[in-house]
Amino acid sequence: MDEEDIYTKIIDAIVSYDSEAVARHCREGMERGMEAIDIIQKGLAKGLSRVGELFEEEQLFLPDLIMAANAAKAGFKILGPEVSRKKGSSVFIGRIVIGTVEGDVHDIGKDIVVAMLSGAGFEVHDLGVDVPTCKFIEKALEVDADIIASSALLGTTMVGQRKIENLLKDLGLKQRFKTLIGGAPVTEDWRKEIGADGYAENAIDAVRVAKKLVEEKKGTNV
Ligand code: B12
């Protein structure tokens, strides 16, 4: 069995809501020396994306989505700590406040981003899901964050990311914090439209963009 077979088994196990099989194959991957983040992206995330397609085609329904999410979480429970374990230097890079915007309870992608950022040396303050706009800013002020990061998975909740920009401007705080946005429907065009500072398509890219934003903010290399 090669790496591709492991990914396929994880995808199949998510589509059949088999948490135990997801966990088993994730462990198997780790024992073979595969990178945890690869198993997450090519196994867990792919499985969920397949479930999303079936949901859109009305072959699956909300309870199925919940069961698939639980199966994916069983895998992330094993892989997440591996990803957030500090790789390389243990130097502090910056402070990030992150959450899923108001009205939105999707947290799997955000949690992966949190794990990657923590592993890369960021101090991450995770506000969870369904976070009111003002909470992001309150927390950022409290911990003196460098970056406010938000996740949105629904076309209808992406507006929460615009609200963060608008509130920062209204409070005269736009220059104090960098903003980073992400989530499946979020794009570079949306970033430009709302005036956010950074956008990343996935958790690996999130680390690269977050480092760049801290660099810009501090005017130094990190
Ligand atoms: C699992 C799931 C659920 C679960 C969520 C469980 C949980 N704890 O998260 C449950 C069952 C609760 C759910 C509910 C709903 N869902 Co849902 N869900 C999904 C599904 C299948 C997977 C999402 C996921 O976890 N993907 C895997 C992760 C790894 O990917 P990701 O989130 O995109 O994250 C990556 C990147 O986007 C990025 N990223 C994410 N966040 C951030 C943040 C920052 C700062 C950065 C830089 C990067 C970044 O990095 C991540 C890792 O690489 C998607 C399908 C899909 N294709 O996305 C539908 C989907 C998002 N859901 C959808 C819908 C419609 C709903 C409901 C409205 C259904 C309903 N009728 O009630 C509700 C809404 C509930 C609410 N108010 O939030 C639609 C949204 C359509 C749209 N564009 O608006 C989708 C696309 C399904 C579909 N194809 O129709 N859902």
Residue 101 DSSP label: B
Q: Taking a C-beta distance cutoff of 8 angstroms, is the pair 157, 193 a contact?
A: no
Q: Which residues line ligand 1 (CB under 6 A)?
A: 45, 48-49, 51-52, 55-56, 62, 65-66, 69, 103-110, 112-113, 149-151, 153-155, 180-185, 200, 202-203, 206
User: Which pLDDT value is given to residue 52?
Assistant: 96
Ligand 1 center from residue 42 Cα (angstroms): 16
Please give the model's pTM, rounded to 2 decimal places.
Answer: 0.96
Q: What's the mean per-residue pLDDT of the chain?
A: 95
* Domain spans in the chain, listed from the N-terminal domain onward: 3-84, 94-218
Ligand 1 center from residue 171 Cα (angstroms): 30
User: Which pLDDT value is given to residue 220?
Assistant: 54
Ligand 1 center from residue 145 Cα (angstroms): 26
* pLDDT exceeds 70 at position 119: yes
Q: pLDDT tens digits for 71-98? A: 999 999 999 999 988 665 568 999 999 9
Own/partner pairs, 166-172, CB within 8 angstroms, 24+ separation: 167/133, 167/134, 167/137, 168/137, 171/137
Percent of the chain with pLDDT over 70: 96
User: Which pLDDT value is given to residue 91?
Assistant: 82
Ligand 1 center from residue 221 Cα (angstroms): 34
Write the class of the CATH domain 3-84: mainly alpha
Q: Which atom of ligand 1 is nearest the CA belonging to 41?
A: 53
Ligand 1 center from residue 38 Cα (angstroms): 19
- pLDDT confidence bin for 125, thresholds 50/70/90: very high
User: Which pLDDT value is given to residue 140?
Assistant: 98
Rounded CA-CA distance 25/186 in Å is: 30
Ligand 1 center from residue 174 Cα (angstroms): 28
User: Which pLDDT value is given to residue 40?
Assistant: 96
Q: Taking a C-beta distance cutoff of 8 angstroms, is the pair 190, 161 a contact?
A: yes
Q: Which atom of ligand 1 is nearest the CA belonging to 186?
A: 37
Q: What is the CATH code for 94-218? A: 3.40.50.280
Percent of the chain with pLDDT over 90: 93
Q: pLDDT tens digits for 126-151? A: 999 999 999 999 999 999 999 999 99
Q: pLDDT tens digits for 153-204? A: 999 999 999 999 999 999 999 999 999 999 999 999 999 999 999 999 999 9
User: Which pLDDT value is given to residue 89?
Assistant: 56
Sign (positive/negative) of CA torsion 199, 119, 125, 128? positive
Task: Compute how many other C-beta atoms are within 10 angstroms of the C-beta atom of residue 208.
Answer: 12
Q: Which atom of ligand 1 is nearest the CA belonging to 62?
A: 11
E strands along the chain, which residues? 94-100, 122-126, 147-151, 178-182, 198-199
User: Which pLDDT value is given to residue 69?
Assistant: 97
- pLDDT confidence bin for 48, thresholds 50/70/90: very high
Sheet arrangement for strand 178-182 = 122-126, 94-100, 147-151, 178-182, 198-199
User: Which pLDDT value is given to residue 218?
Assistant: 85
Q: Which atom of ligand 1 is nearest the CA belonging to 112?
A: 52
Q: Taking a C-beta distance cutoff of 8 angstroms, is the pair 180, 149 a contact?
A: yes
What residues contact 84, with CB distance under 8 A and at least 6 apart? 114, 115, 116, 118, 119
